[in-house]
C-alpha cells in the first residue's frame, strides 16, 4: 500500500509539473499575443494620428489660403482707391508744376 501511495504521489507531482509547464507555456503565448496586439494597436494609433494631423494641416492650409485671398482682395481695393485718389489729384499736380515752370520762366 505504501508503494502505491508513493507512486500516486509521484504521479501527482509529475502531473503538477506538467500543469506548471503548460501554464508557463500558455503564459508565454498570452504575453506574445499581447505584445503582438499592442504593436498592431500602436501602429494603427500612429497611422490614425498621422491621418488626423494631415487633415488638420489641410484644413489649416485652406483657412490660410482663404485669409490670404481676403487680404489680397483688401490690398487690391486699397491700391485701387489710392490710384483713384492719385488720378483725381494728377490734374491739380500738373497745373501746379506747369504753373511753377511758367512762373519761374516768366519771372526771369
Which of the residue ranges 48-62, 74-88, 93-107 would you say has the lowest mean pLDDT? Answer: 93-107
The pLDDT score that the predictor gives to residue 94 is 80
CA-closest candidate to residue 33, choices 41, 21, 44:
41
Cα distance between residue 39 and residue 32, in whole Å: 11
Q: Which residue has the higher pLDDT, 17 or 3?
A: 17
Q: How confident is the model at residue 69 (pLDDT cuts 50, 70, 90)?
A: very high
Q: Where are the domains of the chain?
A: 1-76
Mean pLDDT of 28-48: 98
All cell numbers assigned to 18: 506538467
Amino acid at each position: 500500500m505504501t508503494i502505491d501511495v508513493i507512486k500516486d504521489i509521484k504521479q501527482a507531482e509529475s502531473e503538477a509539473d506538467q500543469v506548471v509547464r503548460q501554464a508557463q507555456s500558455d503564459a508565454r503565448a498570452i504575453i506574445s499575443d499581447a505584445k503582438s496586439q499592442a504593436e498592431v494597436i500602436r501602429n494603427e494609433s500612429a497611422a490614425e494620428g498621422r491621418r488626423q494631423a494631415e487633415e488638420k494641416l489641410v484644413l489649416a492650409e485652406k483657412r490660410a489660403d482663404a485669409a490670404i485671398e481676403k487680404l489680397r482682395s483688401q490690398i487690391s481695393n486699397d491700391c485701387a482707391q489710392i490710384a483713384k485718389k492719385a488720378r483725381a489729384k494728377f490734374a491739380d499736380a500738373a497745373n501746379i508744376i506747369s504753373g511753377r515752370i511758367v512762373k519761374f520762366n516768366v519771372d526771369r
